[in-house]
Amino acid sequence: MPDIKKAEITVDRDSVISDIDERIYGSFIEHFGRAVYGGIYDPGHPSADDLGFRQDVLQFVSELNIPIIRYPGGNFVSGYRWEDGVGDPEDRPVRLDLAWSALETNEIGLNEFMEWLKKAGSDLMLAVNLGTRGAQEAQDLVEYCNFPSGTRLSDLRASHGYPKPHGIKLWCLGNEMDGPWQICAKTAEEYGRLACETAKMMKWMDPDIELVVCGSSGKGMPTYGAWEETVLRHTYEHVDYVSLHTYYGNLDDDTPSFLASTLEMDAFIKEVAGICEKVRQEKGLDKKVYLSFDEWNVWYHYSQTAKQPPKWIKGRPIQEENYNFEDALVVGDMLITLLNNADVVKIACLAQLVNTIAPIITEENGPAWCHTIYYPFLYTSRYGRGKALRPRVTSPVYACAKHNAVPAVSSACVYNADRGEVVYFLVNRSLTDAVPLTCALNGFQPKDVLQWIAMEGYDIKAENTAEDPDAVVPAEKNGAAIADNQIELTLSPKSWNIIRVKIE
Q: Establish whether 295 is a catalytic residue.
A: yes
pLDDT of residue 3: 45
| Residue 399, phi-psi category: left (phi > 0), alpha (psi -120 to 50), beta (remainder) | beta
Predicted TM-score (pTM) above 0.95: yes
Between CA 297 and CA 341 the distance in angstroms is 17
Contact 334, 265 (CB under 8 A): yes
430 φ, ψ (degrees, to nearest 5) = -65, 130
Q: What residue spans in the chain does CATH classification 2.60.40.1180 cover?
A: 7-12+389-503
DSSP 8-state class, residue 375:
H
Q: Which CATH superfamily is domain 7-12+389-503 in?
A: Golgi alpha-mannosidase II (2.60.40.1180)
Q: Report the relative pairing of strands 16-19 and 368-370 from DSSP bridges.
A: unpaired
CB proximity list for 306: less than 8 A, separation 6 or greater: none
Task: Say how far residue 261 (Cα) sits from the centre of its chain.
Answer: 16
pLDDT of residue 1: 33
320: Cα within 13 Å, side-chain hemisphere: 21
pLDDT of residue 307: 87
Just give the CATH number of 22-383.
3.20.20.80
Contact 364, 309 (CB under 8 A): no
Q: What residue spans in the chain does CATH classification 3.20.20.80 cover?
A: 22-383
DSSP per position, 97-150:
ETTTTEEE--SS-HHHHHHHHHHHT-EEEEEE--SS--HHHHHHHHHHHH--SS
Between CA 416 and CA 352 the distance in angstroms is 28
Closest CA to 437 of 495, 496, 491, 502: 491
Give the active site residue among 295, 326, 421, 456: 295
pLDDT of residue 2: 39
Q: Which amino acid is at 291?
A: L
Give the active site residue among 30, 83, 104, 176: 176
Q: Is the peptide bond before 55 cis (omega within 30 degrees of 0)?
A: no
> 451-487 burial string, b = 16+ CB within 10 Å, else e?
bbbbbbebeeebbbeeeebeebebeeeeebebeeebb
Contact 277, 268 (CB under 8 A): no
Closest CA to 460 of 493, 427, 424, 502: 493
Q: Residue 354: beta bridge partners?
A: 360
pLDDT of residue 4: 57
Between CA 397 and CA 337 the distance in angstroms is 18
Q: Give pLDDT < 50 ranges for the chain.
A: 1-3
Between CA 324 and CA 21 the distance in angstroms is 29
Say whether 39 sits in a helix, a strand or coil. Answer: coil
